[in-house]
Amino acid sequence: MSEPIAPQTAERWGIYELALTGPADGNPFTEVAFGAAFSYRHRTVDVDGFYDGIDADGRGVYRVRFMPDTPGAWRVVTRSNRPELDGVVAALTCTPALAGNHGPVAVAGGYHFAYADGAPYRQVGTTCYAWAHQGDALEQRTLTTLGAAPFNKLRMCVFPKDYTYSRNEPAYYPFERGEDGGWDWTRFSPAFWRHFETRVGQLRDLGIVADLILFHPYDRWGFADMGAEADDRYLRYACARLAAYRNVWWSMANEYDLMRTKTMADWDRFFRIVQESDPYGHPRSVHNCRPFYDHSKPWVTHLSVQRSTVEQTREWREQYGKPVVIDECCYEGDVPQRWGNISAQEMTRRFWETTVRGGYCGHGETYLHPDDILWWSKGGVLHGQSPARLAFLRQVLEEGPAEGLDPIDGVVGSGFACAGRPGAFYLAYTGLHQPARVTLNLPEEARFQVDVIDTWAMTVEPLPEPVSGAVTVDLPARPYTAIRARRVGE
């Protein structure tokens, strides 16, 4: 048994890291098993560690990361097939979470999300597939943009991307090269992973979920077709390095159905590996191009959907009984491709249509740029008009019920979709229609403050007095109008 290591502290839902030196000979990625058991009173959490290359003295570096969820004293005992790494004892004191740290996000109330401390998480996401593969200057610019943007989730690829407007070579690659110049699928590149996890940590510090896309078909390097053994090893390594970050979500793939060498059994296996390798149970999904994966399978926590028909949100909720996130509903922009040239008004409309059907939507931007720096792929700066309107929507949601909005029938006349909490809160939306008035059928026994919201101009016009029962509300006879009714008084 090795000498105990001096106690360390980590905040609740922060990261505790234990680093040990050990063998560097052979192939430590495949030949050395390493991890630790973290115990608090009667509870023990087993966590896989990982090899992180050599230090300045040529010694192998082994790390294990842990996200403690309970304040107090934890005991740490390592496990390994190498004696110098096995049975090392350490102590961790978990301190209360600091301001702004609400913990990881999980599904709440069946169709919504909440942080571990109970605070609601209302997803307003965006996509920057390859932003972490662009070099420091552009990546820093992206982080600066995100710091002033309304987004609290960002979809991003672990592997670099080869696609239209995204042809550059990355600064780092996830694997080392072998003697023949090809990739050695058994040796990860520590430099790549240190860089990537730094970016994940910076998103965490901005309050942004990193929705990590583990596979995708847009590849010229061979990462989309490594073979089953390499695929599985990669997933376990990614989980060992990244699962302790509280802001991580796992997406098995972007457009999984375009990866022709993967079978449905492969995708099922990937889900199970991630589920088994992540001791914290971060949310898990898979994104489609055309056919859906079977989201009813138990390892899927929520739907990640590519569809422009956001009006089907309620149908998907009811079919699968899980939260619906339409991560790709087309992109605001002006590229020639049909999926990337909807207007800012249309992007904003799709967010609102999704919202009043009980789901969550995702933003993307694809405006042509002389250097091919499109937000959806490389990040940089935002050029469109929808982000300001999505910030307004997020404010409306944050002023609403903490439990989230579920579809409600019979409240708004003329068939407009409505969501809320019965007897307490209602939010309806006219979309492209422009009625001059609508009828609300509110409960007789309560009084409600009704607001007419211009979702494009971002204005809120309240009715002069609270109302109850059936009431006719005059509207400005223009599209993109929302009607909100909030219960007031006892």
SS3 of residue 377 by DSSP:
helix
CB–CB of 154/203 below 8 Å?
yes
Taking CB atoms within 8 Å and a gap of at least 24, the contacts of 142-149 are: 142/378, 142/379, 142/380, 143/202, 143/203, 143/206, 145/379, 145/380, 145/381, 145/382, 146/203, 146/206, 146/208, 147/206, 149/382, 149/387, 149/391
pLDDT exceeds 70 at position 105: yes
Which residues contact residue 283 at a Cβ distance below 8 angstroms, ignoring those fewer than 6 apart? 105, 106, 107, 113, 249, 250, 301, 302
Average pLDDT (449-471) is 98
Q: Using the CB atoms, write b or e for 43-71: b if 16+ within 10 Å.
A: eebebbbbbbbeeeeeebbbebbbbbbee
Look at residue 242 and tell me whether its pLDDT is greater than 70: yes
Confidence (pLDDT) at 1: 44
pLDDT cut 90: percent of the chain above it: 98
CATH number, span 5-95: 2.60.40.10
Give the span between the Cα atoms of 413 and 427, in whole angstroms. Answer: 13
Distance from C-alpha of 88 to C-alpha of 105, rounded to nearest angstrom: 32
In this predicted model, what pLDDT tens digit does every residue of 330-383 receive, in sequence order? 999 999 999 999 999 999 999 999 999 999 999 999 999 999 999 999 999 999
User: H or E segment at 264?
Assistant: helix 264-277
Fold of the domain built from segment(s) 105-398: TIM Barrel (3.20.20)
- The tokens for 56 are 């300045």
| C-alpha distances in Å from residue 413, one per residue of 310, 407, 437, 488 | 21, 14, 10, 22
Instruction: Delimit the domains of the chain by residue range.
Output: 5-95, 105-398, 408-488
Q: Which of 302, 404, 398, 326 is nearest to 358 (CA)?
A: 404
- Does CATH place domain 408-488 in 3.40.50.720? no
Q: Crossing angle for the helix pair 264-277 and 228-242, nearest 10 degrees?
A: 30
Q: What is the mean pLDDT of the chain?
A: 97
pLDDT band at 84 (very low <50, low <70, confident <90, very high): very high
> Does the pLDDT of residue 218 top 80, yes or no?
yes
Neighbour count for residue 233 (Cβ, 10 Å): 18
Whether residue 4 is predicted with pLDDT greater than 70 in this model: the reply is no
pLDDT for res 5? 74
Tell me: pLDDT of 2 over 70: no
- Cα distances from 185 to residues 29, 228, 230, 232, 234, in angstroms, run 10, 11, 6, 11, 8
Pairing of strands 112-115, 120-121: antiparallel
Between CA 277 and CA 233 the distance in angstroms is 11
pTM of the model: 0.98
Residues 6+ apart with CB under 8 A from 71: 12, 94, 95, 96
pLDDT of residue 391: 98
Which pLDDT score is estimated for 3? 55
Same fold, 5-95 and 408-488: yes
Q: Judge contact between 71 and 95, C-beta under 8 A.
A: yes
pLDDT in tens, 147-202: 999 999 999 999 999 999 999 999 999 999 999 999 999 999 999 999 999 999 99
